[in-house]
């Protein structure tokens, strides 16, 4: 697949360099529990290149976080089982690698930023210790050097008075500062890819923008790939290059960010866009997609979205729509994508 991204590509990045950094290919993951099998991911494919930001959008339970955890190799197995597909990093399938090989990728090549920094940071160690750990364990640095590097990192993510705060504990920081520490930790070893799982969801709205800008800026500077997982369409618009919309463990629409906003080709995406509150529609009732996300143990036959879809026909209840290619880098898993595309976005 060709990448659409053109932002700040380093010089000399020819067609060879445009080969994706990470490719998720037809991934299937299920959770086997006592109550039954929940099919969390049912054939997800996406790719990210260096310097590119892919936003993965979806409700809770759509499989966006499970995909990320599978890429990181931190999925709880059991109950999770990978039942098919490949995750290629630099063309090599990580699912076939040994545990030790995968561990060496984690943190060094691919790192992750979690949603709630307060619970994601260890409460009994100072932030300095938790940052320094990256250098002492992976790089064999002395504790003293690692601490200096930690302070440097904290400066880079703009934590004021980093030198004085390096020995403070996570609970002594504000939410925004804690998330900056998470970002610093993810950046520590100059990874090639960062997965940010709802990095701003737990933050105040005013702080959200700051943290997001910081993340986007650092990503540009270092030409990293970024997978941004979110359910917030507002966050996505400014920073993402392309978007993958997930529903019930499938990608229902994939598109460059501007095209998706302008002309959604899947009823679900359209519904999401229409349910964004807009100032010029003040006083009107806010649109909401009717119904609830499906139970992953009983995903509806055919298109999983059909019970909630205003466009649904008989074929939607019997046949799973494939991801139709609309143009380069653009696809929709809807039988009636052309009809959806023609319709205007209400709101």
- Least CB distance from residue 107 to another protein, whole Å? 3
Closer residue to another protein in complex, CB, 101/342: 101
19, 32, 33, 74: which one binds another protein (CB under 8 A): 74
Find out whether 44 and 250 touch, Cβ atoms under 8 Å. Answer: yes
Radius of gyration, CA atoms only, the chain: 21
Output 4 or 202, the one with its CB closest to another protein: 202
Query: Hey, which residues does 44 pair with through a beta bridge?
Result: 27
Residue (120 or 233) nearer to another protein, CB: 120
Where b means 16+ CB within 10 Å and e means fewer, 236-273 reads beebbbbbbbbbbbbbbbbbbbebbbebbbbbbbbbbb
Minimum CB–partner distance for residue 328 and another protein (Å): 33
Of 12, 80, 18, nearest in space to 47 by CA: 18
* Among the listed residues 104, 262, 298, 346, the single contact to another protein using CB under 8 A: 104
Least separation in angstroms between CB 117 and another protein: 9
> Least separation, in Å, of the C-beta of 182 and another protein?
8
| Phi and psi, residue 281, nearest 5° | -110, 25
Taking each helix axis from N to C end, the angle separating 127-139 and 143-156, rounded to the nearest 10 degrees, works out to: 120
Near another protein in 168-187, by CB under 8 A: 169, 171, 185
Least separation in angstroms between CB 290 and another protein: 34
Joined together, the tokens standing for residue 38 give: 């929940």
Residues 99, 73: Cα–Cα separation, whole Å: 9
Nearest Cα neighbor of 149 from 133, 161, 172, 160 is: 133
Where in 106-135 is the site for another protein (CB under 8 A)? 106-108, 111-112, 114, 116, 119-124, 126, 133-134
Contact between 76 and another protein (CB under 8 A)?
yes
Cβ burial 155-187 (10 Å sphere, 16+ → b, else e): ebbebeebeebbeebbeebebbbbbbbbbbbbb
Question: Applying CB under 8 A, which part among 105-113, 211-219, 223-231, 255-263 lies near another protein?
Answer: 105-113
What is the total count of residues that contact another protein (CB under 8 A)? 27
Binders of another protein among 134-153, rule CB under 8 A?
134, 137-138
Q: Which of 32, 103, 298, 317 forms a contact with another protein (CB under 8 A)?
A: 103
Q: What are the structure tokens assigned to 181, written together?
A: 């520490």
**Site residues for another protein per CB under 8 A:** 72, 74, 76, 103-108, 111-112, 114, 116, 119-124, 126, 133-134, 137-138, 169, 171, 185
């Amino acid at each position: 697949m060709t990448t659409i991204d053109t932002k700040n590509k380093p010089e000399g990045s020819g067609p060879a360099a445009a080969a994706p950094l990470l490719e998720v290919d037809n991934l299937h993951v299920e959770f086997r529990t006592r109550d039954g099998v929940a099919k969390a991911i049912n054939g997800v494919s996406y790719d990210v290149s260096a310097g590119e930001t892919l936003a993965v959008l979806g409700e809770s339970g759509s499989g966006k976080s499970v995909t990320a955890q599978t890429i990181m190799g931190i999925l709880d197995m059991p109950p999770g089982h990978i039942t098919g597909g490949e995750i290629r990093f630099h063309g090599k399938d990580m699912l076939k690698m040994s545990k030790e090989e995968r561990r060496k990728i984690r943190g060094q090549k691919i790192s992750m930023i979690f949603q709630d920094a307060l619970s994601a940071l260890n409460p009994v160690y100072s932030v300095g210790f938790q940052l320094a750990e990256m250098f002492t364990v992976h790089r064999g640095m002395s504790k003293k050097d690692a601490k200096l590097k930690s302070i440097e990192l904290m400066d880079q993510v703009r934590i004021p008075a980093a030198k004085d705060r390096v020995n403070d504990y996570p609970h002594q920081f504000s939410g925004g500062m804690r998330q900056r520490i998470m970002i610093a930790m993810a950046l520590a070893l100059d990874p090639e890819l960062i997965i940010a799982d709802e990095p701003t969801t737990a933050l105040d709205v005013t702080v959200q923008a700051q943290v997001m800008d910081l993340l986007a800026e650092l990503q540009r500077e270092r030409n990293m790939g970024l997978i941004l997982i979110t359910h917030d369409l507002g966050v996505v618009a400014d920073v993402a290059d392309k978007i993958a919309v997930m529903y019930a463990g499938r990608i229902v629409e994939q598109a460059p960010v501007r095209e998706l906003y302008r002309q959604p080709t899947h009823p679900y995406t359209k519904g999401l866009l229409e349910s964004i509150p807009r100032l010029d529609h003040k006083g009107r009732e806010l649109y909401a997609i009717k119904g609830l996300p499906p139970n992953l143990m009983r995903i509806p036959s055919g298109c999983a979205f059909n019970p909630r879809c205003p466009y649904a026909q008989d074929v939607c209840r019997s046949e799973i729509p494939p991801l139709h290619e609309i143009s380069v880098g653009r696809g929709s898993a809807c039988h009636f994508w052309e009809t959806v595309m023609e319709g205007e976005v209400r709101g």
